Amino acid sequence: MKVKKLLIPGCLLVLFLMAGSTSKEVKTNDLQGSWTMIKYKYGSEKELSEVPDIITYVKHITRSHFSWASYGENGNLIAAGGGTYEIEGNKYREHIDYFHPLGSNLPGSSVEFDFVLNGNDWTISGFIKNVQINPGSGIYEQVDSIRLEEVWRRL
C-alpha cells in the first residue's frame, strides 16, 4: 500500500522533470557570461565577415544587465555601452543606460534583436540606429537605421 502511494507522486515528478528538460526556451541564465564577437554583417552586406584581429569586442551578461566594449589593437577603448536587458521568446531587448562616446543620444533608448543560441554561439539580428557626428554642431545625429547581424562566442 505504501509503495502505491509513493509510486504515483514519483512518476509525476519524473514526468515533470522530463517535460522541463525538453523545453527549447532560452532562459536569462543561458546568456549569462562573457562573449566575444567573431563575425558580423551590417547594412546590405551579403556575407558575414570575420572580426579583424586589430579590434576586440566583448559583451558581458549578468542576470539583469549587459555591458559591451570594443578595443583597438593597442587596447584603447573605441566604444562601450550597457544597461538592462530582457528576453521574450526569441527576442533579446537591450535598454541602453550609458554609451561612450558621449553625445550619441542612445542612452534611454532600446533596441530589439531576434536571436538564436546554438551551443556556444549566439547570433543576434535586427536594426540599430545609425548615428554620425554633425561636423557643424559636433553633436551625434541619427541618420538612418541599419540592419545588423552579429555572431558572439562564449568565452
pLDDT in tens, 82-119: 999 999 999 999 999 999 988 677 899 899 999 999 99
- Model pTM score: 0.75
79 within some domain: yes
Asked if residue 9 belongs to a domain, the reply is no
Return the CATH number at 121.
2.40.128.280
Q: Is residue 87 part of a domain?
A: yes
Q: For position 20, what pLDDT does the model report?
A: 41
Structural domain count of the chain: 1
Report if residue 13 sits inside a domain: no
Please report whether residue 7 resides in a domain: no
What is the C-alpha to C-alpha distance for residues 132 and 146, in angstroms, rounded to an integer?
12
Domain that holds residue 54: 26-154
41-87 tens-digit pLDDT: 998 899 999 999 999 999 999 999 999 999 999 999 999 999 999 99
- Phi and psi angles of residue 12, each rounded to the nearest 5 degrees, phi first: -65, -40
- Residues 117-141 have a mean pLDDT of 81
Question: 20 in a domain, yes or no?
Answer: no
DSSP state, 155? -
